[in-house]
Amino acid sequence: MKFPRLPHLRTVKFAPVAIFFLFLFTNFTGFYLSPALAPARTITRDDFIPLDIPQSGDCDLDLIIFREAERRGVDPRLVHAVIRQESRYDPKALSHAGAKGLMQLMPATGKQFDCTDLSDQACNVKAGTKYLAWLLKRFNGDVKLALAGYNAGAGAVDKYQGVPPYPETENYVKKIIANYGKTYHPVLPPEDAKIAFGLTTTTVLAE
């Protein structure tokens, strides 16, 4: 007795070919399970540093500067400008007066702002940024006066009621202002400063 041949079984021999073309289609088009089709979520990157922030050539140092500036409500661009002028990013820099490290702090100043090891990059940047934040607050965001205070001491700025007439200090202030590009720095709480200085961002990624 003969059984009728089932028509749909004739297509079985074409299954490997169909699977092969399906494989090509999904791999070359990226259609199947494409990330573009997945639901999106928004995350904040903790290691984000805006592209317009200067770079030292040391990624770890750049992150230290950025995070300390963020914590103190200071524009990291200004911190970079100060470090560039003070030490050219040399953590071993030592002045004839005894100022040490990246932000060229005197031992007494370092101690005042909780740093006893000025050769430690993170400690030096932390103390220097705290000092800069203190000066900006003291002089109501006037960058010229804050920088003059950083170089010659806040007392000298008070004495002359402005940038002291010392050639070194005048040149120091002029160079950093030219590099930083601003003469006013708003004194804000850290969270508000992040927004004011464009230090936050969000990135959209697929689940």
Q: Catalytic positions, please?
A: 86
Distance, in Å, from the CA atom of 151 to the CA atom of 185, rounded to the nearest integer, reads 17
Phi-psi region of 104 (alpha: psi -120 to 50; beta: other; left: phi over 0): left
Distance of CA 195 to the CA centre of its chain: 13
Q: Which residues have C-beta within 8 Å of that of residue 85, sequence separation ≥ 6?
A: 172, 175, 176, 179
> What tokens does 34 get?
């494409």
Phi-psi region of 162 (alpha: psi -120 to 50; beta: other; left: phi over 0): left
